[in-house]
Structure 1
Amino acid sequence: MSIRQPPVLAVKPSPALFLLAATLAVVSQWRSASAQDTSTTERADMMKEIAAIAAGTGAASGRHTLDPRVMAVMGQVPRHEFVPEAQKPYAYHNRPLPIGHGQTISQPYIVGLMTDLLMAKPGDTVLEIGTGSGYQAAVLAGLVKAVYTIEIIEPLGRQACDRLKRLAYQQVACKVGDGYYGWEEHAPYDAIVVTAAASHVPPPLIRQLKPGGRMVIPVGAQFMTQYLLLVEKAADGAVSTRQILPVRFVPLVSKP
């Protein structure tokens, strides 16, 4: 005995449903484009402020204007992708922002100045100590061949690595570890940037800096005066340092 199946009813969407779906799609696209336009405008305003600060502090820093390549890259990197949700409204304000675990994303001007001082070239390999949110690494990725970045706080390091992969920064390699000792495997480096304040310049980082290379590092105790230092290694291995500006960074954490 065969069992007769109930007929399949074809439901024809009404014109009203088609209109609703089309409207929702347009609204979604408008919101996406609007958000993109807003971040683009905010980023442009941030870059104008960075240029103005550089001009005003040039007598102290020695850099009245920042490298146009650095400015162009910072004008493209979406800083709002590198801050927690609650901080997104302030992503393009020229100030540091908390990113959790007692850490911060640096003030955009300081990121620009530190990057500028490295004088990195397209074929260079750069080491970053203190990945944080990954923003500095993303900026460097637009300027050099390869970036190796180390973060000692595991949750931050994992989040930053996932974020950089999601945003397709393929030139960046991440590692969770103690940045005080650098990343010997890929040394020597054309440039090294440290994004936390050390009590002194770590000797392992000096060893891993290529002759002719530059390191930018904040040095000083957490609640005392810190200075941004430019460390240069001559072709013969001689090391010289120069104070750039007083700064305030979270301390460089190292395992005993």
Structure 2
Amino acid sequence: MSHRAGGERRLEEALAATDRRRFLPEEPRGLAGEDRPLPIGHDQTNSQPTTVRNMLALLDVRPGQRVLDLGAGSGWTTAPLARLCGPEGRVIGVERRAELIGPARAALAGTADAGTADAEIRLAHPGVLGAPQDAPYDRILVSAQADAVPESLVARLADGGVMVIPVRERMPRLERHGEGVTVSEHGAYLFVPLVEDPQTTR
């Protein structure tokens, strides 16, 4: 089996094992099977399943990798990332909305088993984008729209690392090799804005 075919199979299995209803508030759970974003409160959404699948396919997560899930929201992306990384991997989700942290952690805990990575969801620190103390990352997934690619996140990619981030309604995929970065674009998407603190220094 080719790497690409194996990766697609693993991705489908990870998504199938992640019950979207678990990551939704009670009111919209009946709509979990619909292929559209759903509100989770506090001006945030649970992303459209097709969008999540496309982003994870671009990210190409391998077993044993360290992954940053920035804009973890309800934990809806953190859970399949943990399954894709496998038990030797690590996933760190970061979310700025304090109100979402408790439900997201509870939902994520309900999906953990022997086949998933050590995964957690943290509250973002003011003035800090992501979790720089745990860099470098093999993969970075950003589920919020930026005005430009944050150089601080590119700097936290390991050699050979990949980042997928929506920028101005486009979906670039960045791959780092040494000091060089290659960029490819993959379609148009709408996301809630990435909140970058004006005092961000790290």
Q: TM-score, normalised by structure 2?
A: 0.87
Aligned-residue offset at 1:147: 0.5
Match of residue 65, structure 2, among 113, 124, 147: 124
After superposition, where does 1:1-256 map in structure 2 within 5 Å?
Answer: 67-144=8-85, 145-168=89-112, 171-178=118-125, 181-220=129-168, 226-234=169-177, 236-256=178-198
RMSD: 1.8
- Measure how far apart 1:126 and its partner are: 0.4
- Report the secondary structure of 1:139's partner residue: helix
Counterpart CA distance in 1 for 2:161 and 2:111 is 29
Shift of 1:253: 1.2
Tell me the number of residue pairs that the alignment of Structure 1 and Structure 2 aligns.
Answer: 186
Bigger Rg, which one: 1
Structure with greater proportional strand content: 2
- Distance in 2, matches of 1:166 and 1:80, equals 12
Deviation string for 1:209-246 (max 9, x for gaps)? Answer: 111010000001xxxxx101101111x22012111010
Equivalent position SS for 1:219: coil
> Aligned letter for 1:126?
V
CA deviation after TM superposition for structure 1 residue 163, in Å: 2.4
Work out which structure has the larger RCO, using CA pairs closer than 8 Å and 6 or more positions apart in sequence. 2
Q: Which amino acid aligns with 1:172?
A: A
Q: Point out where structure 2 has 5 or more consecutive residues left out of the alignment.
A: none
Q: Which runs of 4+ in 1 moved over 6 A?
A: none
Deviation string for 1:33-78 (max 9, x for gaps)?
xxxxxxxxxxxxxxxxxxxxxxxxxxxxxx9xx7111011111111
SS at match of 1:182: coil
Q: Which residue of 2 aligns with 1:39?
A: none
